[in-house]
């Protein structure tokens, strides 16, 4: 059997571990997309944490900035809700809601700034523990973990085991967790959703059809709203209705066939103890959209420095780069490029600035969003790098290696380019 663990209101639960006063109260953790990253004179050293890995585990730059006025911007309250406790959800507070709206719905809500270093550390400690009690574990996200019990726990002992595991995690870490189990990982994940909060549920093979009967197709892992709307046009609104349309899924090619097997609990997707990262990205939405292009490109350079350091620390060589600018009137400009170069910070800095200047199609409009990502690493898609640039790239790579070591020791802001100042 495969099990799926989902930590209930994880960020809020972590805050309660270090501050028991918050237990039983309506609390929420909010975010502002790191309002400190663009400071011209950073006061605290930021360092990159790479304790956790997984398909949906972001890289983390952490510092000890004063967060007492984190949500204040003059007389305004900024930020969105990242996680809400179940006490807060009873008042309608939910993820992605503005902090201002959440406080209107629940005036006594305690809104906390994020402590990502704490969350990553507790997630890592939990993974270390689970690795000792389950033969194969996979970190799916910072608060979701898969485990394979095959050859370790008999199927008829699954319910007892996951109840024991739930209680042991609570006793050791004071973290509430919901656990679902089934023969396939995606049905197990679906079961966890039905078990929350702080519940357990085992869906045996003979019960899968009755279990998924009334579950909306949009709730199935990996479907998403866009694909669910596509299926709704064919009258498929529930997972059970999807079972009745094998030919429709087959007409969508391999991805459709794979999804159909997942819906039926017949896929062979295994639990992978180490799943390599496929994308390294960075993005920022700005509370105050930027019109001054000098300031815009200063911010882009700040982000590229952080982005480059992450790529170096994760020891990958991207070949495909994606850039996006979002404007205040909802217009956007985006493009993807493929370049086979030996990765180094100097290359990325000049390449990113050149492409962002080309992307800035509306120079009279304010920019509210900057996004960049790198993918298709050479070890996934082996090809030769550009031989005409190779010698110079090797020199710049050695320089980038030295910069990485210095930033690891003294903080990401210890060495900055002149355009950031």
Residues 108 and 191 occupy one common structural domain = no
Distance CA 182, CA 204 (A): 6
pLDDT at 354: 95
If you average pLDDT over every residue of the chain, what do you get?
Answer: 87
Kindly write down the DSSP assignment for every residue of 295-354, as one continuous string: HHHHHHHHHHHHHHHHHHHTT----EEEEEEEETTS-EEEEEEE------HHHHHHHHHH
Helix (H) or strand (E) holding 191: helix 185-195
Same-domain pairing of 156 and 174: yes
Cis ω before 198 (30° cut-off from 0): no
Residue 223 lies in a domain: yes
Q: Please give the radius of gyration of the chain, using alpha carbons only, rounded to the nearest integer.
A: 23
Closest CA to 168 of 195, 129, 139: 129
Do 246 and 339 fall within a single domain? no
Q: Give residue 73's Cα distance to chain centre.
A: 26
CA distance to 125, 162, 355, 366, per residue, from 128 (Å): 5, 17, 42, 46
Say if 147 falls within a structural domain. Answer: yes
* Domain match, 100 and 129 both: no
Least confident of 42-56, 64-78, 115-129: 42-56
Q: Which residues pair with 141 in a beta bridge?
A: 56, 144
Same domain, 129 and 64: no
User: Residues 226, 188: one domain?
Assistant: yes
Task: Please give the DSSP secondary-structure letter assigned to residue 94.
Answer: -
Domain holding 166: CATH number?
3.30.70.270
Q: How many domains does the chain have?
A: 3
Q: For 134-162, what is each residue's pLDDT tens digit? A: 989 999 988 999 999 988 899 999 999 99
CATH number of the domain to which 43 belongs: 3.40.1170.60
Domain termination residue (choose one: 207, 231, 264): 264
Range of the domain at 172: 120-264
Residue that is last in its domain, among 239, 264, 289: 264
The pLDDT of residue 44: 59
We report the CATH number of the domain holding residue 356 as 3.30.1490.100
Phi-psi group of 238: left, alpha or beta (phi > 0 → left; psi -120 to 50 → alpha; rest → beta)? beta
CB 97 within 8 A of CB 51: no
Asked if residue 164 and residue 102 are part of one domain, the reply reads no
> What is the average pLDDT across 299-328?
91
Q: Identify whether residues 71 and 98 lie together within a single domain.
A: yes
For residues 403 and 89, what is the distance between their CA atoms, to the nearest angstrom? 45
Identify the CA nearest to 271 among candidates 154, 367, 134, 383: 134
Q: Is residue 273 part of a domain?
A: no
> Is 70 exceeded by the pLDDT of residue 56?
no
How many residues comprise the chain? Answer: 421
What is the rounded distance in angstroms from the CA atom of residue 203 to the CA atom of residue 360? 51
Residue 54 lies in a domain: yes
Q: What is the pLDDT of residue 61?
A: 46
Residue 222 counted as domain residue: yes
Would you call 37 helix, strand, or coil by DSSP?
A: coil
> End of a domain among 264, 293, 311?
264
Q: Do 90 and 23 reside in the same domain of the chain?
A: yes
| Same domain as 256, residue 124 | yes
Identify which of 307, 302, 391, 277 has the alpha carbon closest to the alpha carbon of residue 341: 391
Same domain, 298 and 416: yes
Q: What is the pLDDT of residue 62?
A: 46
Residues forming a β-bridge with 147: 3, 137
Judge whether 88 and 27 are in contact, CB under 8 Å. yes
Tokens of 112: 């906390």
Phi and psi angles of residue 128, each rounded to the nearest 5 degrees, phi first? -60, -45
| 29-37 mean pLDDT | 73
pTM: 0.76
Question: How far is the C-alpha of 144 from the C-alpha of 123, rounded, in Å?
Answer: 9
The SS3 call for residue 114 is: coil
Q: Does 2 map to a domain?
A: no
**Is 365 among the domain residues?**
yes
Q: Are residues 292 and 411 in the same domain?
A: yes
The answer to the question of residue 57 being in a domain is yes
């Amino acid at each position: 059997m495969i099990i799926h663990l989902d930590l209930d209101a994880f960020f809020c639960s972590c805050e309660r571990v270090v501050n028991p006063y918050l237990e039983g109260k309506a609390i929420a953790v909010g975010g502002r997309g790191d309002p400190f990253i663009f400071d011209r004179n950073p006061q605290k050293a930021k360092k990159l944490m790479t304790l956790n890995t997984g398909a949906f585990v972001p890289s983390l730059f952490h510092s000890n900035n004063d967060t007492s006025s984190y949500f204040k911007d003059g007389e305004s309250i900024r930020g969105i809700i990242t996680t809400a406790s179940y006490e807060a959800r009873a008042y309608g507070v939910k993820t992605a809601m503005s902090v201002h709206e959440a406080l209107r719905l629940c005036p006594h809500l305690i809104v906390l700034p994020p402590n990502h270093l704490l969350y990553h550390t507790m997630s890592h400690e939990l993974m270390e523990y689970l690795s000792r009690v389950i033969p194969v574990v996979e970190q799916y996200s910072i608060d979701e973990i898969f485990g394979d019990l095959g050859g370790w726990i008999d199927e008829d002992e699954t319910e007892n085991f996951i109840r024991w595991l739930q209680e042991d995690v609570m006793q050791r870490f004071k973290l509430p967790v919901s656990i679902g189990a089934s023969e396939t990982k995606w049905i197990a994940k679906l079961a966890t959703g039905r078990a929350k909060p702080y519940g357990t549920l085992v869906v045996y093979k003979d019960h899968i059809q009755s279990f998924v009967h009334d579950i909306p197709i949009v709730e199935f892992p990996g479907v998403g709203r866009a694909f669910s709307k596509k299926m709704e046009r064919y009258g498929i609104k529930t997972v059970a209705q999807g079972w009745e349309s094998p030919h429709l899924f087959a007409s969508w090619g391999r991805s459709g066939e794979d999804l159909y097997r997942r819906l039926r609990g017949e896929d062979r997707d295994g639990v992978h103890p180490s799943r390599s990262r496929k994308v390294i990205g960075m993005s920022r939405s700005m509370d105050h959209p930027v019109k001054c292009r000098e300031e815009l490109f200063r911010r882009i350079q700040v982000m590229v420095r952080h982005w480059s350091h992450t790529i170096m620390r994760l020891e990958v060589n991207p070949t495909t780069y994606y850039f996006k600018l979002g404007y205040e009137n909802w217009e956007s400009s985006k493009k993807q490029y493929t370049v086979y170069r030996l990765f180094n910070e100097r290359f990325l800095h000049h390449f990113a600035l050149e492409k962002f200047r080309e992307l800035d199609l509306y120079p009279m409009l304010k920019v509210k969003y900057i996004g960049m990502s790198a993918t298709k690493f050479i070890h996934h898609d082996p090809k030769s790098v550009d031989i005409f640039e190779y010698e110079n790239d090797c020199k710049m790579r050695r320089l980038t290696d030295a910069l990485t070591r210095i930033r690891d020791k003294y903080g990401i802001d210890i060495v900055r380019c002149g355009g950031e100042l």
